[in-house]
Amino acid sequence: MSDDSQLLLSIAILGGTGKEGKGLAYRWAMAGYSVHIGSRDSAKAQTAAKELMELLEGEALVDGMTNIEAAQKSNIVVLTVPYSAHKDTLESVKSYLKGKLFVDVTVPLVPPKVSTVRMPAAGSAAQEAQQILGEDVQVCAAFQNISHEHLLDDSEVACDVLVTGTSKEARAEVIKLVQAAGLIGWDAGPLENSVVVEGLTSVLIGINKKYGSTHAGIKITGANHSVD
């Protein structure tokens, strides 16, 4: 009964007071996960959790706390911070992530030219996370291309999620999280491939600017995601 096991799982969303983090929290709470919103400022996290509980009409488990507390309490830890806070946040929670599944949503945008791809020396934000967290943490990356706009309502998101990560098993776990959030996930290979997915966000920002759209995304064609 693997579908029931998710009821036991708790997800931390570090930096979860931002729009992307709140959107994912909303969708996972709807799907029955226990969601711990983390922030450097626990009062902010509590406010975000309260907002989400109201939106969910109390029918869910969402609470707010510091990033460290959220990481400690959860089996799955998701990071949704601006790139400028990436390294510091990882360092601050590093010792609580051993043996856990870590999902990086960070896109290493370099203002002001956010539509030009600029990767960190490690190759990508996700590879940088792996370097900081070490081999004891299963690092995956996902959701970098999803516009937050449609996560907080229940509308269909016309953007697939490309999941990269250190192992096939970890990627399969994250694809389950993607599906729980009502999105379509694809195994996009090893963590080295995260450069494509992170960089695609800059391409999509550029397309929004050039073609006057607000939430350009991508869909994989010619393959069937439900074959596994």
Q: How far is the CB of 149 from a second copy (least distance, A)?
A: 10
Which of 31, 61, 158, 184 contacts a second copy by CB under 8 A? Answer: 158
| Range in contact with a second copy (rule: CB under 8 A) among 29-37, 40-48, 91-99, 192-200 | 192-200
Q: Quickly list DSSP for 9-77.
A: -EEEEETTTSHHHHHHHHHHHHTT-EEEEEESSHHHHHHHHHHHHHHTTT-SEEEEEEHHHHHHH-SEE
Strand pairing category for 76-79 and 101-104: parallel
Query: Of residues 47, 115, 131, 179, which one binds a second copy by CB under 8 A?
Result: 115
Say how many residues make up the chain: 228
Question: What values do phi and psi take at 138, rounded to 5?
Answer: -80, 110
Give the separation between CA 27 and CA 38, rounded to whole angstroms: 16
Q: Minimum distance between the CB of residue 135 and a second copy, rounded to whole angstroms?
A: 18
Can residue 19 be called a binding residue for a second copy (CB under 8 A)?
A: no
- Judge whether 172 and 178 are in contact, CB under 8 Å: no
**For residue 78, what is the enclosing H or E element?**
strand 76-79
Choices 53-61, 77-85, 88-96, 214-222; region in contact with a second copy by CB under 8 A: 214-222
213 touching a second copy, by CB under 8 A: yes
Q: If binding is defined by CB under 8 A, does position 83 make contact with a second copy? A: no
Q: Where in 119-138 is the site for a second copy (CB under 8 A)?
A: 119
Binding site for a second copy (CB under 8 A): 115-119, 147, 158-159, 162, 186-190, 192-193, 195-197, 199-200, 202-204, 206-208, 210-225, 227-228
